[in-house]
Amino acid sequence: MRVGFIGLGNVGGKLAGSILRNGFELSVHDLDPELVETFVARGAARGESPKQLAETCDVIITCLPSPAACAAVVEGPEGILEGIGPGRIWAEMSTTDAGEIKRLAEQVIATGAEAIECPVSGGCHRAATGNIAIFAGCTRETFEKALPFLTVLGRRVLHTGEIGSASVLKVVTNYLATANLVSVAEALVTCKAAGMDMGTAYEAIRISSGNSFVHETESQVILNGSRDISFTMDLVAKDIGLFQKIAEAHEVPLELSPLLNNIFADAIERFGPRELSPNIIKRLEEATGLEVLAPGFPAEMVDDEPEEAGYEVVPKGGERAFGETGKAVG
C-alpha cells in the first residue's frame, strides 16, 4: 500500500513515522522543507504537491492545524481533488469542524474515491509509538478497507459512524481535557499556596478519585518547568471554540465552556498564541507570585508501553468482534 502523508507537524510527523517504521511505501509533503528532508533521509519519497500524492498513492492522509489549512490542501490549486479518483482513500486526521469535513468529503467521494475522518487522541508521545487512539467516521465498507493502516497508526480504533461523527467526538474529548487542564492548574497552585510538597501532591492526586490522563501527563511537565506537551494555546482555543459552536448549534446552554474560552483568550493575549498549553498555569503563578515546580519530573512525556498491533474497539452493546491480532474486543 502506497501512503501519502501531508502535514508533518507535532502529531503528523509522529503518525507518519509509524507508517514508515512499519514498512509502508511513504511519500510526504509539508510547507516546511526541513521536515520533509528528515523523512526523505529516513527513506520516504518527497511529494511534489497534494495533487501528485493523490495521483500516485492508494491512501492520502492529511494532518493539518486548522479547517482552513485542510480546505486549501483538498480543494486549492494543485490540491487533492485535482488528483484523486476511484480506488483511492482520503483520510483526514486533523481536529476539524464536522460540517467542513462533510463538505470536503462529499467532493472527494464525487470523484469516485473514498473518504474517512480519523482524528487521534492520547497525546503526542503515544502518536510516536503507534499506541494512540483513533476515531474513524465513514461508511462501514470504507472503515474495513482502512483498518489495516489505521491499526498501524493507532492501537485502539473506534468506528464512530458516518463522516462528521468522529470530529464531534474528538472535539468533545479535547474540551474535556482542557477543562481538566485548567482544574489541574488551579489544584497545583492551591497546593503550592497551602505549603504542600509538590511531589507528594502529585502522587496524592494520581492515586485518588481526582486522577486523570491529563494529570498523569501534563502535571508532570508542569512540575518539571518545561511545560512541553507539544500542544499550543491557539490549538486549544480552536478546539474548545469548535465545541462551543456545536453546543450553540444544538441550543445547549453551557456554563463552563464559555468560561474556558475566556480563560484561554486571556492567556493568548498575555503570552501569545504559540505558548505551550500547560502554561495556562502561568496566569495563576503570576497572580500569586508562586512558582509551581518540583524535582524528579520529566521535561517531556515518553510512551513507556511497548508498541502493539492495533485493533478495533466495539462500543458496548455492539457485536463482539476480533481485532487484527485476533484479540477480542467489545
Confidence band of 306 (pLDDT split at 50, 70, 90):
confident
Handedness of CA 54, 56, 60, 62 (dihedral sign): negative
Check pLDDT > 50 for residue 324. Answer: no
SS3 42: coil
pLDDT of residue 327: 45
The Cα 197–Cα 292 span in angstroms is: 10
Minimum mean pLDDT range among 55-64, 133-142, 287-296, 304-313: 304-313
pLDDT of residue 308: 81
Tens-place pLDDT, residues 252-290: 999 999 999 999 999 999 999 999 999 999 999 999 999
The three-point CA angle 104-106-112 to 5° equals: 115
The Cα 18–Cα 202 span in angstroms is: 32
pLDDT of residue 192: 98
11-25 core/surface letters (b: 16 or more CB in 10 A; e: else): bbbbbbbbbbeeebb
Q: Which grid coordinates belong to 146?
A: 482502512
Q: Which grid coordinates belong to 60?
A: 492520502
Q: pTM for the whole thing?
A: 0.90
> What average pLDDT does this structure show over 91-114?
94
pLDDT of residue 322: 39
> What average pLDDT does this structure show over 78-92?
97
Check pLDDT > 90 for residue 214. Answer: yes
Check pLDDT > 80 for residue 198. Answer: yes
CA distances from 118 to 101, 196, 246 (A): 11, 42, 19
pLDDT of residue 290: 98
The Cα 182–Cα 194 span in angstroms is: 18
Any bridge partners for residue 114, and if so which? 89
Q: What is the DSSP letter of 68?
A: H
pLDDT of residue 39: 97
Check pLDDT > 70 for residue 165. Answer: yes
Check pLDDT > 70 for residue 321. Answer: no
> What average pLDDT does this structure show over 291-310?
90
Higher pLDDT, 172 or 301: 172
Confidence band of 46 (pLDDT split at 50, 70, 90):
very high
pLDDT of residue 319: 57
- Provide the angle, in degrees to the nearest 10, between the axes of the packed helices 256-271 and 233-249: 150
Q: Among candidates 141, 130, 134, 133, which has minimal Cα distance to 117?
A: 134
Check pLDDT > 60 for residue 119. Answer: yes
Q: Do residues 93 and 152 make contact, with C-beta atoms less than 8 angstroms apart?
A: no
Q: Above pLDDT 70, what percent of the chain? A: 96
Q: What is the mean pLDDT of the chain?
A: 93
Which helix (H) or strand (E) segment holds residue 266: the answer is: helix 256-271
Neighbours of 254 (CB within 10 A): 14
Check pLDDT > 50 for residue 320. Answer: no
pLDDT of residue 254: 98
> What average pLDDT does this structure show over 127-155?
93
